[in-house]
Amino acid sequence: MTFETIKLEIEANVATITINRPDDANALNATMAMELMDASVRCSEDREVRAVLITGTGTMFCAGGDLKEMHERGDDKPAHLIRMASVLHSAITRFAHMDAPVVIAVNGTAAGAGFSLALAGDYVLAAEEAKFVSAYTASGLTPDGSSTYFLAKHVGLLRAKELLFTNRRLTAAEACDWGMVNKVVPAARLMEEAQEVATNFASGPTKAFGGLKRLLLTAYSDTLETQLERETQGISGMMRTHDGPHGLESFLGKKTPEFKGH
């Protein structure tokens, strides 16, 4: 598949996905939703991919949904949004459930769907100039793209309501203080730092990372007993991989493990 709105590069076990509509503020249109979904499938199915890095081209990370495209759909707007949101949500679900950790490098404003996508990352870095704003209700819309799932978990319910109802714009530093961003770095160093984080993840125990991601997805929804059983199945299952026994042997032998990701 030839991509029109994103770039996908795989090197040294890291898949870098770059949102690439700089002339349109990197806005999400139907084509981009489909291409993100395709990229998520490629990353989850390629055993060589052990970390994913998502960023944007230019000065914007993603300004949200392409409202012009939505408007031009006329009476087909509801069906158009069902199709586009369903495809985008398939991509976000795939990123959330895949073994590879997903690193987000927010290079500029993350609004609307871009705001939601940033919240769905496993590790989030932001350039000092980056801004975060929900923006949905400013256009008379309700959120999509996972923000109603992740935001309250990151910042608490009351602060989530504040951001979603008022469309308050947060600086990168504020987003870090609120728990939406792991680290703020100078723009000139953003990709270098993000690549370093992704590379470190790519050399780690990929199956263990995947199990951890899926356990955390149910941390707020399952009962204690169910979560404990998930933990039991997860940790015992690691003994059926290469990296689990190898990690134990390396620790006991006081050696640095060389994880293979399977």
CATH code for the domain in which residue 59 is found:
3.90.226.10
Looking at residue 182, what DSSP letter applies? S
Packing angle between helix 206-217 and helix 77-97, nearest 10 degrees? 130
First to last CA, the chain: 27
How high is the mean pLDDT in each 10-residue block of the chain (262 residues)? 93 98 96 98 97 97 92 91 96 98 98 97 98 96 96 97 97 98 98 98 97 95 95 96 95 95 94
Alpha carbon distance 161, 13 (integer Å): 38
Scored b (16 or more CB within 10 A) or e, 226-259 reads: eeeebeeebeeebeebebbebbeeeeeeeeebeb
- Quote the pLDDT of residue 7: 98
Question: Is 73 domain-assigned?
Answer: yes
What range does the domain containing 238 cover?
Answer: 206-252
- Active-site residue, selected from the candidate residues 80, 89, 242, 246: 89
- Quote the pLDDT of residue 1: 65
- Quote the pLDDT of residue 70: 86
**Per-chain mean pLDDT for the chain:** 96
Are 66 and 27 spatial neighbours (Cβ–Cβ below 8 Å)? yes
Are 54 and 104 spatial neighbours (Cβ–Cβ below 8 Å)? yes
Same structural domain, 229 and 127:
no
Alpha carbon distance 41, 23 (integer Å): 27
Same structural domain, 160 and 231:
no
Same structural domain, 124 and 227:
no
- Active-site residue, selected from the candidate residues 66, 122, 144, 243: 144
Q: Which of 144, 136, 52, 157 is nearest to 95 (CA)?
A: 52
In which order are the strands placed within the sheet that holds 6-11?
6-11, 14-19, 51-56, 102-106, 123-127, 183-185
Same structural domain, 52 and 76:
yes
Alpha carbon distance 123, 7 (integer Å): 20
Q: Can 89 be counted among the known catalytic residues?
A: yes
Same structural domain, 117 and 194:
yes
Q: Output the six-digit token pair for 150.
A: 């992740």
- Quote the pLDDT of residue 2: 85
Q: Can 71 be counted among the known catalytic residues?
A: no
